[in-house]
Amino acid sequence: MIIIGEKINATRKAIAAALEARDAEHIVRTAREQAEAGADYVDVNGGDARSGREVENMAWLMDVVQATTDLPVAVDSADPAAARLGLKTAKRKPILNSISLESDRLAEGLAVAGEFDCMVVGLLMSDAGTPCGVDDRMANTRTLVEGLTGAGKKVDEIIIDPCFLPVSADAASGRAIVDAIAAIRREWPEIHIAGGLSNISYGLPQRRWVNLAALAACIFAGMDTAIVNPCAEGTMSMIHAAEAVAGRDEFCMNYVTKMR
């Protein structure tokens, strides 16, 4: 299981404040906590609507995070200039998070992905909006895989994010995402499948229980990458337990090691 620690993201109030104040200590602590909790990658997002600010944030974050941990980074930006800077300064093979099928993002996203030796998160959003069922997710996956392989990416460098939707808005959305993950896994055995799981619990109380239930179901269906907070109580234990139940942990050694 590939774990992408999601906490260094400017949409979080504490991270936005740390960016504004250039509070390196807060970023160092957040990166270190995720590494110690079991993250494989540290997501780095310095989003800012002010002109040129996101590039400055990305440069600063890359310096601070890479001085703190040897883990590779996931360069998380919709700004091509910020994404290029992050990928260029990455010390280990990074992840580009993310590109989509939206017409205002696709061509530039493919260009950036093709310029660097990196893995790529492909979000199944398109100009038609967010896919809701299995068929539209599969159609969008085929289009993204074709575009990314055309840009030089190998299939095992592609991470598909099938778009998690709130079950509070549509009771069928949880079943649809699990079925879509299983279908993607069948068609592309080498591809990686990820997602921002917290979307599924939006609008509900005690959200972590819904997130953990979705995590287990999606792992069993074939998800092998998670964009999560590895420090959240129960998350890493659930991942190891679900992998053991899904038959992806020989003799349950990862689970036993984790529990010890």
Task: Judge contact between 228 and 215, C-beta under 8 A.
Answer: yes
Residue (of 101, 104, 102, 108) closest to 83 by Cα position: 108
Q: Which pLDDT does position 100 carry in this prediction?
A: 97
CA atoms of 161 and 122, how far apart (whole Å): 6
Query: In which residue are the tokens 């299983």 written?
Result: 182
pLDDT in tens, the chain (260 residues): 999 999 999 999 999 999 999 999 999 999 999 999 999 999 999 999 999 999 999 999 999 999 999 999 999 999 999 999 999 999 999 999 989 999 999 999 999 999 999 999 999 999 999 999 999 999 999 999 999 999 999 999 999 999 999 999 999 999 999 999 999 999 999 999 998 888 999 999 999 999 999 999 999 999 999 999 999 999 999 999 999 999 999 999 999 998 88
Q: Which pLDDT does position 196 carry in this prediction?
A: 81
Nearest-10 Cα torsion for 213, 216, 218, 222? -170
CATH class of the domain at 93-259 = alpha beta
Task: Judge contact between 153 and 122, C-beta under 8 A.
Answer: no
What tokens were used for 44? 């780095």
Instruction: Report domain extents, the chain.
Output: 1-72, 93-259
